[in-house]
Structure 1
């Protein structure tokens, strides 16, 4: 009996230790082979995994997500692009477009994102900005607007250039913006597409998506994937950027300068790490009553001016809290839906930012009301006096002229 009992205790202990290790492993971030890598929550911008996220590398064809973003922002999908002289001679991957060929933006975007066509990247660049050089300036301007700090683009395709650089974090910021376009997701998750014959091509052009995470027959298929873009040159090595969404929670992963070409499995591990260990919490919805202000006989409700989200660890029992700005509202006049206070929000002593709060009612101090009335009266008086002065001046001029005529 003692032997049996010891055996059972051993088995039980083994199971407890094994289960504990598995649970612990879920909270451990994965390893990735890329030199730069990031996992970002798309809603809040919070970084859930990082590795050299600000170090610039040559991004190869992941550059094309910026080209696609600018196409969505500056064109319509049915706009007709007339191909210029230079795009047909672009180096690298291409669908062999012709000078003078009429192709709609939608078809060029499919070729850009599915076949990674450099000739269509240049055609879009010239259509939007007139030249590759001017388009590169637009790329860098937009990158700065998105918060990119380690990016310098010199072409729309990602062909290697010693000055063409970006970082894992900057790639994630660009993808975070691009994935807001449903049209992008539709294109990026298409297995195939066919460009119809054009004025310069009698044959249609079939296109195939090289992104294995969207291929349902692939062992790399990932449920919730919204699209992604690969990149490779000899000098740039491999790179990849993608987004995925589950139950309203969207994550963006970016890997850059991967010598081992493990970006598909590494991205899957990053997404699993994010979805398994973190939750997106909607703390306040726009218009929700956050709190009440009760000071010096002033009683008003304060509402959220916008939605506020934060990321919470699934194993944590802590919730975000907020503190109100120390401000006396009783001595101020304001109207309904005016911003009157800020709430500072914290999670585990981490500052998540501020949420402006709106008043749910008017609060007009009598002195202010009187001052406003006097101000209106003064303005009216000034206006009337101005009109009278103008009329008197005109009358004086007429009288003087009449006297001169009599003389």
Structure 2
């Protein structure tokens, strides 16, 4: 028996809720029911179910109940759970379409009751397994892809550093040569002054040819050899810089492969707007970035989508038909795993209070309607780290 699994059966008919609970009781110990409409939110937040079973006799009732939870509950969007809907044969096609759009997670042809009663607990078991997999620690594929894109410039950076290092070494060698020449010229000048008697009050030279030989020896043996040693000390650095490309070839090849794999993972952008024209407009503007767009037409639908998919960016309209964009953003940011997802508010209003409240809710930026193509692309590229 699954002792820890939390299951909530919701229905407006007490007998139906009791029936479903009885079917699950042999497999699951912690099955609660919610049958009073006025207590639906309280029941959900008290139970905190991992699996919610909508056991209503019509699809309309199930949709109305679930949408009501998203409008009124401050917890549902932050609570990971799977939603199973029990339907009749007349609603199968519509329920299938809703599950395909991820409004619900799974459905069971249940009304009227069939002989396949094990299908219900088996669906719950599958849902719990999905919950376990989804809750496993570790980065998502898209999070890894983002990091892969950030290190994609490693190859060009190595080339730039090698070029810059080579220039510095060349400059150092030239400086050494110039310093040697200047010191040699200074010694020659000093020798001429002494040989010409300009410094006779300071130094008297008795053997001019011997003095000149000593100057030459000093230039060759003392100064020259030290400059040669300095130049030889720089030579290994030159060889090391020249070998960078070869030394890092395996790592660079791995980066290229990682970049190729990252390019296959498209960033996910959630567009929240109730205007179909805006969906098409934003889709056309963003098409060149090859993103995966998820469309939500209301705050409730957006919160439901966020429960199932973690986008890389959210484009949030301020004016929505149920929960406004500011409140939706506030609820999104209250969820730990979603708090880092940037939200760009899209609004036809630029009043100061809208801007202030959006920023307080956690919005990262704004785009004002009518949307400027270049401005939107620039902001999206920036937040997604796309070159």
With normalisation by structure 2, the TM-score equals 0.23
The structure whose RCO (Cα within 8 Å, separation 6+) is larger is: 1
Higher strand share: 1
More helix per residue: 1 or 2? 2
**Greater C-alpha Rg:** 2
